[in-house]
Amino acid sequence: NAGVTQTPKFRILKIGQSMTLQCTQDMNHNYMYWYRQDPGMGLKLIYYSVGAGITDKGEVPNGYNVSRSTTEDFPLRLELAAPSQTSVYFCASSYSPIAGVTDTQYFGPGTRLTVL
C-alpha cells in the first residue's frame, strides 16, 4: 500500500493563478480530508468528504473547492490564488464503519504552496 499520496510536493504560484492539489489513497478509506498548516498553528480543516459524491466544508473553506468522484481521489482546487493561501497542505484519509465513528487519520506527505 502506498497509503496517502499527494502531488506536487512543492509549488510556487503567482497571485490569481489556479491549480489543483492531487490526493490519492489506496486503503479504500471512505473519509478524506484536506488541511492546511500555517507556521505556529495547528491543522485547520478546509474540506472533508465522507464518501464518493459527498463533500462538506470545514473550518476554512473560502478560496478552495473540492470534488470526490471516486473513493480514491480527493483533489483540492484553488481558483484565484492569494498570498494568504501560502501554506503546507495535508490530505488525510480514514475509515469509518458507521456514521460519526472514525479511526486514525492517515496523512499524506504534504504539498508546500507559495503564492507570490
Partner 1 sequence: EDKVVQSPLSLVVHEGDTVTLNCSYEVTNFRSLLWYKQEKKAPTFLFMLTSSGIEKKSGRLSSILDKKELSSILNITATQTGDSAIYLCAVEADYGGSQGNLIFGKGTKLSVKP
Interface residues with partner 1 (CB under 8 A)?
Answer: 33, 35, 37-45, 48, 58-59, 88, 90, 100, 102-107, 109-110, 112
Residue with grid cell 504560484, as numbered in its chain: 13
CB of 77 to partner 1, least distance (A): 20
CB of 12 to partner 1, least distance (A): 11
Q: Which is nearer to partner 1, 38 or 79 (CB)?
A: 38
Read off the C-alpha cell for 22.
492531487
CB of 110 to partner 1, least distance (A): 5
User: 13-46 burial, b if ≥16 CB within 10 A, otherwise e?
Assistant: beeeeebebbbbbeeebbbbbbbbeeeeeebebb
